[in-house]
Amino acid sequence: MEVLVLGSGGREHAICYSLSKSSKVTKIHCLPGNAGISEIAVTENISVMDKDGVLAYLKKNPKIELTIVAPDDPLADGMVDFLEENGYKAFGPRKNAAIIEASKAFSKWLMKKYNIPTADYEEFTDYEEAKKYIDNAKYPLVVKADGLALGKGVIICNNIEEGEKAIYEMMVESKFSLAGKKVIVEEFLVGKEVSVLCFTDGKTIVPMVSSQDHKRVFDNDEGLNTGGMGTFSPSRIYTEDMQKDVYDNIIIPTIRAMEKEGRLFKGVLYFGLMLTDNGVKVLEYNARFGDPETQVVLPKMKNDFVDVCLATIDGTLDKINFEWDNEPMVCVIVASGGYPVKYEKGKEITIDKLEDGVLVFHAGTAFKDGKLVTNGGRVLGVTASGKTMKDAQAKAYRNVEKIHFEGMHYRKDIGNKYYD
């Protein structure tokens, strides 16, 4: 069968890579894709938000039997509903379920109603009320824009001045446009973060191998937040006992809560967890595969990815016997100079011969005049596995050094947290 993937990042490259390993897939399509993806899939410059463009593409390519909608924006905008209404099979939650990521007010309300452990919070739509609260609160605290804000709508405030600035920017200056009209002010949690991605057909929910992201731009978690500078999998701190506790008290209650609310969730549900001294709490839900978590999680799945996607859509996940490769895996993101603030595109990239088994997932790359060039902030994700996490790290970093472009930067400590 032929499969279409919507998206253009490292996550989508990893998804296309898994599809390329499927015995059932004869051809992969990806809109709009990137340079790396175009080596294993047919790509065309159609936006993931362009519903009519995607529909026209499907009509032009009638052998496509499955569309995987990977990014948050088209999910929140109802791309899956639209494709289904037009008679196509699509992987991902419908709009009324994607809200679990698209509205933090909704997800906090859901967790409160169903006793799912998370940080205490208040919700505001009125600036004066928010200001009154901010002026009398204990610090640090966290201010979050309600809607999708490209991962930038979360501000950790250490004092009143920072708190006032955050709500002013969101509620008065509309820095995140509609996403900031409503804000959540949340208790600051201390602990270690783990990402748990799950396949779910709305009834059965199957956690994948755990992973840990590195959101800050510089080593030792310094500097600004980014889309993610690297990941490793599995997490060592996410023990078997903890996995059971999280499954019983967070994962199952969430999926049942969505069903009870008439918002059956099908696709990948991502649990961003904080391991605090008072137990594991949910930091956030994502209605999709994580990026760059997918790069270290999906290659570990031994099952045919297409079977899993179809079972997720058809409600038969309980029939699949999942198998995972447990070898440690590390993904180091190589970024453009200046990312996440200001960076230039169009720098020529050269890649020397890589060691066997190394996967380079492309994110912001393009071909220009036959040359591979940078085309975004996060450029490549160098992914390697090994017998131990140290082996995986060493292999990933040996191969990062084979990549060259002007201004490139990367964290040197991805994977060190495994030993914390």
Return the residues of window 189-248 that contact ligand GLY according to CB under 6 A.
Answer: 213, 228
Please give the Cα distance from 319 to 204 (Å, whole number). Answer: 10
- Pick from ligand GLY, ligand AMP, none: which does 67 bind, CB < 5 to 8 A by kind? none
Q: Whose CA is closest to 74, among 46, 37, 112?
A: 46
Residue nearest to ligand GLY (CB): 290
- Pick from ligand AMP, ligand GLY, none: which does 293 bind, CB < 5 to 8 A by kind? ligand GLY
Alpha helices in 51-114 (DSSP H): 51-60, 72-76, 79-85, 95-102, 104-113
73 makes contact with ligand GLY (CB under 6 A) = no
Placement of tokens 């799950």 in the chain: 198
377 makes contact with ligand GLY (CB under 6 A) = no
Q: Whose CA is closest to 290, among 202, 337, 227, 344?
A: 227
Return the residues of window 132-161 that contact ligand GLY according to CB under 6 A.
Answer: 151
186 makes contact with ligand AMP (CB under 6 A) = yes
Instruction: Please pick, from the candidates 58, 142, 257, 373, the single residue that binds ligand AMP as defined by CB under 6 A.
Output: 142
Closest contact distance (angstroms) between CB of 135 and ligand AMP is 20
Please tell me the count of residues contacting ligand GLY according to CB under 6 A.
7
Instruction: Please pick, from the candidates 73, 77, 284, 293, the single residue that binds ligand AMP as defined by CB under 6 A.
Output: 284
Instruction: Please pick, from the candidates 14, 41, 111, 119, the single residue that binds ligand AMP as defined by CB under 6 A.
Output: 119
E strand spans, 160-215: 183-187, 192-200, 205-207, 212-213
- Pick from ligand GLY, ligand AMP, none: which does 312 bind, CB < 5 to 8 A by kind? none
Return the residues of window 325-364 that contact ligand AMP according to CB under 6 A.
Answer: none
Question: 77 vs 291, which CB is nearer to ligand GLY?
Answer: 291
Give the CA distances from residue 273 to residues 158, 185, 213, 308, 324, in Å, rounded to whole numbers and listed in that order. Answer: 22, 18, 11, 24, 21
Do 145 and 171 contact (CB within 8 A), yes or no? Answer: no
Closest contact distance (angstroms) between CB of 301 and ligand AMP is 24
Q: Return the range that interacts with ligand AMP (CB under 6 A); candidates 56-64, 167-175, 181-189, 351-359.
A: 181-189
Helix (H) or strand (E) holding 131: helix 127-135
Instruction: Please pick, from the candidates 36, 290, 328, 381, the single residue that binds ligand GLY as defined by CB under 6 A.
Output: 290
C-alpha of 396 from chain center? 21
Please give the Cα distance from 112 to 124 (Å, whole number). Answer: 16
Do 283 and 193 contact (CB within 8 A), yes or no? Answer: yes
**Residue 307, token pair as written in the block:** 């079977």
**Residue 24, token pair as written in the block:** 């059932």
Helix (H) or strand (E) holding 380: strand 378-385
Task: Report CA dihedral (163, 168, 170, 174) to the nearest 10 degrees.
Answer: -170
154 makes contact with ligand AMP (CB under 6 A) = yes
291 makes contact with ligand AMP (CB under 6 A) = no
**Residue 402, token pair as written in the block:** 């084979």
Return the residues of window 215-274 that contact ligand AMP according to CB under 6 A.
Answer: 215, 272
Residues in contact with ligand AMP by the rule CB under 6 A: 119, 142, 151, 154, 156, 186-189, 193, 215, 272, 283-284
